[in-house]
Amino acid sequence: MFQIYDVIVVGAGHAGCEAAAAAANMGSKVLLVTMNMQTIAQMSCNPAMGGIAKGQIVREIDALGGYSGIVSDKTAIQFRMLNRSKGPAMWSPRTQNDRELFANEWRLMLERTPNVDFFQEMVKGLLVEKSDELGISVKGIVTGMGIEIRSKAVVLTNGTFLNGLIHIGDKQFGGGRTGEKAAVGITEQLVTLGFESGRMKTGTPPRIDGRSLDYSKMEIQHGDEEASKFSFLENTSPFEKNSSNPKKQHHCWITYTNEAVHEVLKTGFEKSPMFTGRIKGLGPRYCPSIEDKITRFAERERHQLFVEPEGWDTVEMYLNGFSTSLPEDVQYEALTKIPGFEKVKMFRPGYAIEYDYFPPEQLQLTLETKLIQHLYFAGQINGTTGYEEAACQGIMAGINAHLKINKHAPFILQRSEAYIGVLIDDLVTKGTDEPYRMFTSRAEYRILLRQDNADMRLTSKSFELGLASKERYERVQEKVKQSHEVMRYFKTESINPDEINPVLEAIGSSSLTQKVKMFNVLSRPNLTMIDFTLYCDRVKEFLKKYRWDSVEQAEILMKYEGYISKESEMADKMQRLEDLVLHEDFNYRELTSLSSESREKLSKIRPRTIGQASRISGVSPADVSILMVYLGR
């Protein structure tokens, strides 16, 4: 019935979809197995992509040739660039999306991708073989009906479905998502094979009938006046002026909880699965439930809530910030105390869900497991939370699965090359005992890892792998060329006082008394390329020849040249440690000069390089020096 596939991907969430697309586009024959063909790429929680640090990840996925950015742009109902008031290292794109269109578009893109087959079934186990030479390696999957499907590699992207348990008040029932059954069998098999597993928890808020809300009592939240997009390709956004039918952005709204809301919520604490101990797994620290918020931050009189539309043609609303597992009657009563929600109608209550995960120290940096060859984990199975974190793991697992079965070198991104590199290195090197979420603060080279230059950082690498298209590669090369030409112009051409003084006076900056190189003037705070075009016709005429993304890139590189240069030097110094490779079979227990904690941690994690070893908790600088001396011998 089934051929032998190159790669089988289990689970069709954000990680699974990107893994399947990546491996297939590189030439592997892929089978994507899902429990429900109607929920491929389902947005299980909020209908949005990107945000702080997450937006950078979506841009990186797009630069690598993934689909998340394209799908997000095509299904966007609002676009905002967050943190515009800060430096460009902090700018983070975010889209509000049409939930139904998002899933439909993802499925269409996968169906149009050659080499991707689909099968609807639960996977209950793996086919594994043991040999003296290779140890344990995966050979395929076993479905709930007992069907065996063979492959050269398997990527597990099970999300919240592994032994998923849903909680609403004192009710609990098995499920990986509301209305969908949990997946059983895989955890139990992996544990018998030597894997360590744990439990995590996440939650979702109630869904609201938008017709029952009074928006006049809320703050309106507009999208950006000049809407941008995620993908570096052209014509992917519904808001673009040159599209055939540009759409007007949808509004979101902001409201707040109050003391009355908090008092009602407290009446349900005795039935709260979180407070009664029925939930064992740890939830996300940075996205707590509303009951957790009013307990941990008891001094706050209110908490911000975002009222987000679920799509263009639906009245359903997502109440961001009100995740809860309290009894449904308590949820409803509390909602009626929120300004604008006095006559609220609830489509379905919020709930918490517990699920199995596998501590990610059990993985290599390729996301291949250390215990079983050709078996890869991606997404929430590794302890992460968020669509974007899952999707980037998926594309990396798909790439590396294809490379491994074709006996090519692995594809590993360094911390100085991508947020994706930071995320995977954090997981594998440090592990996590609570749902991991990406922040800009986790990246020590965030000035280098901006959202605007993801294509320049990663597309050439992906093109060499055969994943990014020639169209993408050539577009990046043109952007590099154009930005360098703009920089050369600003560094060689001078500007007269009468050309620029009007704008300098307008922003409260000191006037020029003589000719100065444009580059030196641009470095002043609050002065932009747009200011030059408004007041200086020759600059305006010059810049007309270039794409705006090239001009913006040149501006950022010039204004932050010193900071970028300094961070690049730091990254180069650290790269020297990344170039010192540690052998896979290195016996750390024989190095008695290492601390006992260091020997234990190094033996468990088995770092790939000295650089990775230096980031392991418990490995001191002295221990790193000892390793370097040993390598020198």
Extract the tokens encoding 599.
């020997």
Q: What is the pLDDT of residue 243?
A: 65
Q: What is the pLDDT of residue 498?
A: 87
Residues ≥6 apart with Cβ < 8 Å to 13: 41, 42, 44, 157, 159, 379, 390
Tens of pLDDT along 53-110?
999 999 999 999 999 999 999 999 999 999 998 999 999 999 999 999 999 999 999 9
Residues ≥6 apart with Cβ < 8 Å to 354: 164, 165, 167, 199, 200, 201, 279, 280, 281
How does residue 307 score in pLDDT terms, banded at 50, 70 and 90?
very high
Residue 585, H or E segment: none
Q: DSSP for 239-292? A: T-TTSSSPPPPPPEEEEE--HHHHHHHHTTGGG-HHHHT---SBPPTTS--HHH
* Identity at 610, one-letter amino acid code: I
Tens of pLDDT along 155-167?
999 999 999 999 9
**Tokens 């792998």, located at residue:** 465
- pTM for this predicted structure: 0.94
Residue 317, H or E segment: strand 316-320
Q: What is the pLDDT of residue 436?
A: 94
Segment 324-344 mean pLDDT: 97
Q: What is the pLDDT of residue 244?
A: 62
Residue 633 has pLDDT above 60, yes or no: no
Tens of pLDDT along 407-449?
999 999 999 999 999 999 999 999 998 999 999 999 999 999 9
Of 455 and 279, more confident: 455
Write b or e for each residue in 530-549: b if 16 or more Cβ atoms lie within 10 A of its Cβ, otherwise e.
ebbbebbeebeebbeebeeb
Q: What is the pLDDT of residue 99?
A: 97
Residues ≥6 apart with Cβ < 8 Å to 371: 136, 193, 194, 195, 362
Task: Decide: 52 and 82 in contact? Cβ < 8 Å.
Answer: yes
Taking the C-alpha atoms of residue 562 and residue 316, their distance in angstroms, rounded to an integer, is: 48
Segment 301-329 mean pLDDT: 96
Q: Crossing angle for the helix pair 548-559 and 470-492, nearest 10 degrees? A: 50
Write b or e for each residue in 49-77: b if 16 or more Cβ atoms lie within 10 A of its Cβ, otherwise e.
bbbbbbbbbbbbbbbbbbbbbbbbbbbbb
Tens of pLDDT along 592-627?
899 989 999 999 899 999 999 999 988 888 988 888
Q: How many whole angstroms from its chain centre is CA 523?
A: 32
Task: Decide: 325 and 269 in contact? Cβ < 8 Å.
Answer: no
Q: What is the pLDDT of residue 1?
A: 65
- Across the chain, mean pLDDT equals 93
Provide, rounded to the nearest whole percent, the portion of the chain with pLDDT above 70: 99
**Tokens 């407070």, located at residue:** 275
Q: How many whole angstroms from its chain centre is CA 534?
A: 38
Tens of pLDDT along 118-134?
999 999 999 999 987 77
Residue 216 has pLDDT above 90, yes or no: yes
Helix count and strand count (H, E) for the chain: 22, 23
Q: What is the pLDDT of residue 132?
A: 74
How does DSSP classify residue 13? S
Tens of pLDDT along 280-301?
777 777 778 999 999 989 899 9
How does residue 584 score in pLDDT terms, banded at 50, 70 and 90?
confident
Task: Decide: 519 and 558 in contact? Cβ < 8 Å.
Answer: yes
* Domains of the chain with bracketed CATH: 5-203+355-465 (3.50.50.60), 207-350 (2.40.30.260), 471-566 (1.10.10.1800), 580-632 (1.10.150.570)
Task: Decide: 96 and 78 in contact? Cβ < 8 Å.
Answer: yes
Residue 466 has pLDDT above 60, yes or no: yes
